[in-house]
Amino acid sequence: MKKKYLKIFLGAAMAYTVLFSAQSCKVRDDYPEFDPPVEEVPVKDTIPPDDIKTAWIQRIMDNTTYIKTFQMDTTQTIAPGFEYVHTRFINKENLSISMHILEIDMSKTKVTMQTLTPYNDYLFSAQHLPEMIPFNQVSAEGKIIAAINGDAATSNEPTGSYVKFGRVMKKNTSKTRPYIGVRKGSDKIEFFNSPDATKYPVPEIDYTQIKHLVGGSYFLLYKGNNVSTTSSGAARIAVGITQDESKIYLVATDGVVANFSAGVALDDLRDIMRALGCYTAMQPTSGNVTSLTVLDVLSKEQQWIKKNITPALAAAPSGIGFVVK
């Protein structure tokens, strides 16, 4: 009898298990359906055909070996005397390059330079350059048309000397660190110091006479002479002036963005500045902090936009603004 009841019990248990399993495997009516994965097709980087080069790009091709294959360039007038060029090409190392050039012709408009600070304040801080400009426009002595980043920094403190409207926020005793600025009572944009204090001796900067001053990292050219320096490709900006002091050039190279722009080395950047006609030039900084920002002439709100591309935009501790009075 015990065996009989045991068999009945085991049989019922097995039947219940099978029934429960069948019920648990039943597909729910509200169970979501998933489409098969779709392979994403990379966006093709299409460059429009362009057989006509601007004068700026032609000068670079005529006077350097940097551009191997020209692809395209385009121009835009930002304001009277401010001409912007964007170009793309393959460089001598078979790398894709995207580069931006801004020519400021001071014979066509009255331009001066102004130190830009985060939030228009006198404390060491950091802010994205396109956002920094509107704050500084409030105290500007004209319209800020264009700007680039200034000196590299540690903990938001610029490495070199730093002067705004005559207020000296920091002094650096180096005579070889490059600076751009204007003196009190003048609108003339000048470069200060030299790359070699022995070969090119210069007096110490008299800060009592300085109205605006922003430092940089390296001299690229000094009074027509090359300043030897090498580096790998990176996103970089440069500012230079012609010998007759009639034109200023701002150059920014995108990077490092795979298959789009590999950045530029310092010696190649130096050669580009020379080819454009610069007599003295410097690199303020490099990397994700670099920003060439101009007034957006197509915007009714008169906003400032960043023209160059970096993988991530980093906040900056200072800016170099170019103001039309």
pLDDT tens sequence across 240-292: 999 999 999 999 999 999 889 999 999 999 999 999 999 999 999 999 999 99
Q: What is the DSSP string of 98-114?
A: EEEEEEEETTTS-EEEE
What interhelical angle do 55-63 and 266-276 show, nearest 10?
120
Give 248's contacts (C-beta < 8 A, 6+ positions apart). 103, 104, 106, 111, 189, 239, 240, 241, 242, 322
Mean pLDDT across the chain, nearest whole number? 89
Count of alpha carbons within 13 angstroms of residue 212, beta-carbon side: 24
User: Bridge partners of 114?
Assistant: 321
Pairwise CA distance, residues 186 & 210, whole Å: 10
Give residue 36's identity as a one-letter amino acid code: P
Confirm if 308 and 100 have CB atoms less than 8 A apart: yes
Closest CA to 237 of 59, 100, 84, 55: 100
Pairwise CA distance, residues 91 & 70, whole Å: 9
pTM for the full predicted model: 0.86
Structure-token match 């935009």, residue found: 313
- Given a cut of 50, whether residue 22 has pLDDT beyond it is no
Looking at residue 146, what is its pLDDT?
A: 98
Count of alpha carbons within 13 angstroms of residue 143, beta-carbon side: 15
Give 302's contacts (C-beta < 8 A, 6+ positions apart). 295, 296
Strands ordered across the beta sheet of 218-222: 67-79, 82-91, 96-105, 247-253, 236-242, 278-283, 218-222, 225-226
| Surface-to-core class of residue 218, CB atoms within 10 Å of its CB (0-12 exposed, 13-18 middle, 19+ buried) | buried
Other beta carbons within 10 Å of 10: 10
Looking at residue 16, what is its pLDDT?
A: 45
Mapped onto helix, strand or coil, the DSSP state of residue 73 is strand
pLDDT, tens digit (0-9, with 9 covering 90-100), for 122-165: 999 999 999 999 999 999 999 999 999 999 888 899 999 999 99
pLDDT, tens digit (0-9, with 9 covering 90-100), for 70-106: 999 999 999 999 999 999 999 999 999 999 999 999 9
